[in-house]
Amino acid sequence: MLPDSNSHIINQNHDAALLALRPMVPADPADSGAAATVGAFLHATLRPVLKQQNALLLAVVADFVLDHHIPLAKANASDQQRLLAELLGRNTKLRYTVVGLITGLFTTEEYAFYRQHRSEINRRVLELAQRRVLDQVAAVLAL
C-alpha cells in the first residue's frame, strides 16, 4: 500500500488528467452561483462527461438494442423513440451501465459529492443520457 502522501499525489495527477480530457461545455448562468448544488454539478461535471462519453454511450445502447433483439431499424421514427425510451427507462442493466460510464470519469472530489447525492445525480445522468440517445437515433441505428 502506498503512503498517504504518495496516494494523494497520484489522486491529484489522476484527477487533473481526467479534467484535462473533458470537453468545454458552456455553463448555465442560472446555476453558476452555488458551487455545491446538484444543478451546478450537472453543468460543471455531468454535461461535459456525457459529451465526452457520447460515442461510447451510443455504442452501448446500440449493443443493448442488438442483444435484446429490439426491431429498431424496422420501426418508424416515433416508434424508434418510444422503443429507445422504454429500453433506457426499464432495463436496469443498461441503466447501471450508463451510470457507470459517467461516474467512472469523476474526479475524487466529484465522486465524494456524487456519493452524497447519488439518487438525484443518477436520475439526472439517466435523463441526460436518454435525451442524448433520443436526439441521435440515426447514430444508434448506424452502429
- What are residue 22's phi and psi, to 5 degrees? -75, 140
Q: pLDDT > 70: what percent of the chain?
A: 83
- What are residue 37's phi and psi, to 5 degrees? -105, 160
Q: How confident is the model over 29-49, as a mean pLDDT?
A: 76
Whether residue 37 is predicted with pLDDT greater than 60 in this model: the reply is yes
Q: HSE on the CB side for 103, CA within 13 Å?
A: 20
Categorize the per-residue pLDDT at 10 as very low, low, confident or very high, splitting at 50, 70 and 90.
Answer: low
Number of domains in the chain: 1
Q: pLDDT > 90: what percent of the chain?
A: 70
How many other CB atoms are there within 10 angstroms of residue 128's CB atom? 19
pLDDT in tens, 74-127: 999 999 999 999 999 999 999 999 999 999 999 999 999 999 999 999 999 999
> Helices (H) and strands (E) in the chain — how many of each?
9, 0
The distance of Cα 40 from the centroid of its chain, to the nearest Å, equals 15
CB proximity list for 35: less than 8 A, separation 6 or greater? 44
Amino acid 18: pLDDT? 74
Q: How confident is the model over 121-143, as a mean pLDDT?
A: 95
Q: Are 112 and 140 in contact (CB under 8 A)?
A: no
SS3 86: helix
Q: Which domain holds residue 138?
A: 4-142
